[in-house]
Structure 1
Amino acid sequence: MKQKLRRILLIVLGIIIGLAAIGIFYIRTQTYQPTTQAQASAEQAKSLDGTLVFKGKSEQPAVIFYQGALVDNASYSLWAEKIAEKGYTVYLPKAPFNLAILGENNAEKIIKENHIKKYVIGGHSLGGVMASRFAAEHLTDQSLDGVFFLASYPEAKGDLSAFKGGVLSLTGSQDGVLNRKSYDKGKAFLPEQTIYTEINGGNHAGFGSYGEQKGDNPAEISNEEQQAAIADQLVHWLQQLD
């Protein structure tokens, strides 16, 4: 009886391990990888336990950014490098399985380990939702200067309506992935000083540099142009916070 029970347990364990392996393999095959250009920029950054760090000036607010679902964090290196050139250190943490929902508190580790005194936090798509949740839990933190969204929005757990700092919501006119109804509902969780800006011709995948994304519309501008527009908008917003 004991041997039979042991055999059953081993079979069940084998099935669980097999399913887990299949799940991990599937996630890895579905992950969007950075373009050659983005990878080249990523190689210029310092890597700390998977977090890419583009160094700026210590006196400027740091920028902490959460990746979109199943998008490798190196895919955001092009605009991150441009922002660092303007003096703002950018941190691109890598969440487990490239899912920000599994790394919501990555910012806390970055802030503590790097002794960051001022920072803004943001994210792309699902990453923005997770960034807003982190920010909502730190609304009274004097070191939090602002929150930004790239083709994203907050929900109830990321309610920022009482936030006194700066908020930027950046979208693309050709975005075919962003749920516009949810985006509009999300405005109820944003403060009145939120700045809403749209990149004409930009799409969802263009907020990173990883090629085409399922369900997205074709962009009417090049990825290079959208990356430049993202950097320009973020730098302008950061300068306003200063």
Structure 2
Amino acid sequence: MQKKRGRRVLKAIVWGVVAVVVLGIAGVVGWSQIGVMPAEKAPLASVRENPAIHVEDAEQGIVLAPADGDSELGLVFIPGAKVDPWAYAPILQSLAEEGVTVVITRPWLNLAFFDLRGLDSFTSAAPDIDHWAVGGHSLGGVRACQLAADAEALVLFGSYCSNDLSDTDLAVLSISGSEDGLSTPEKIDAARALLPADAEMVQIEGASHASFGDYGPQDGDGQPTITDEEMHARVAEILDAFVADLPQS
């Protein structure tokens, strides 16, 4: 009798643990789908109507490529937490215009730290390209730092690394905003030592955290004093100069 009671208690404990785990997973999945910030329609329309680039909604992600197909350099770009990947197409389209193929990933559960796929899961979208950079915005940038060992360059938008890349020969571009209320200038500075000494650090005056994507305002962010058009032009100028120095043959 006592053994039966013990088995019932053990069974109840096991099922209780299973229930907690299932509820926990369901909670995380549910939370990851709530509050996703969608891409703004007007900037995205400009991408779709751009005759200089080819846009593909591929299995590996959103692919922006030169319309003439002539591309020898690629960038895998990882979105910030709960941001629609399409929101980064407008600010990255200038790279495709200049001959760089861009693959914007779709992180699992809309959160980069849940996505454990390697860089080759995304570079397979353009198998003929031999030279790849990796980048990301906010949490996506943190994940990009973790994948940087398999790339030749790293591009950070309003982000910083949590792993140490200071002893690598990686080409690094970090673009931040003076009005960023999330990846603040202080946080960017505090993590500077984790990047190579020759990393290019550029702060855009008037840019906020959400200035790096076209998805509207974000809770906790600062107030931008730069227009979206000015931001796109400034980022395009910085990116174009950076990639011009990367190997492309």
Query: TM-score interval w.r.t. the shorter chain?
Result: 0.7 to 0.9
| Matched-pair contact (CA < 8 Å) for 1:51–1:94 | yes
Aligned partners of 1:189 and 1:4: how far apart in 2?
Answer: 51
Relative distance call for 1:103 and 1:21 in structure 2 (3 A) is: closer
Q: Does 1:63 align with 2:75?
A: yes
Assess, with a 3 A threshold, how the Cα gap between structure 1 residues 162 and 13 changes in structure 2: closer, same or farther.
Answer: closer
Match of residue 62, structure 2, among 45, 52, 55? 52
In structure 2, what is the equivalent of residue 141 of structure 1?
Answer: none
Q: 1:50–1:93: 8 Å Cα contact kept in structure 2?
A: yes
In the TM superposition, 1:1-242 aligns within 5 A as 16-40=21-45, 43=48, 45-49=55-59, 51-56=61-66, 57-112=69-124, 114-115=126-127, 116-135=129-148, 137-138=149-150, 144-155=151-162, 157=163, 159-242=164-247
- Find the aligned partners of 2:87 and 2:47 in 1 and give their Cα distance: 8
Amino acid at match of 1:151: G
Offset of 1:165 from its aligned partner?
Answer: 3.6
TM-score by length of 2: 0.82
5+ unaligned residues in a row in structure 1: which ranges? 139-143
User: What secondary structure is seen at the aligned counterpart in 2 of 1:54?
Assistant: strand
SS of equivalent residue, structure 1 residue 132: helix
- Quick check: 1:208–1:227 contact (8 Å CA) kept in 2? no
Q: How far apart are the structure 1 equivalents of 2:219 and 2:193?
A: 28
Aligned identity (percent) is: 28
Q: Number of matched residues?
A: 234
Shift of 1:190: 1.2
Q: Which amino acid aligns with 1:205?
A: A
Contact 2:78-2:105 at 8 Å conserved across structures: yes
Point out where structure 2 has 5 or more consecutive residues left out of the alignment: 49-53
- CA–CA distance in 2 between the matches of 1:196 and 1:9? 52
Query: What's the C-alpha RMSD, in Å, of the aligned pairs?
Result: 2.5
> Structure 1 residues 11, 160: CA separation in 2 closer, same or farther (over 3 Å shift)?
closer
What secondary structure is seen at the aligned counterpart in 2 of 1:45? strand
Tell me by how many angstroms 1:110 deviates: 2.0
Q: Structure 1 length normalisation: TM-score?
A: 0.84
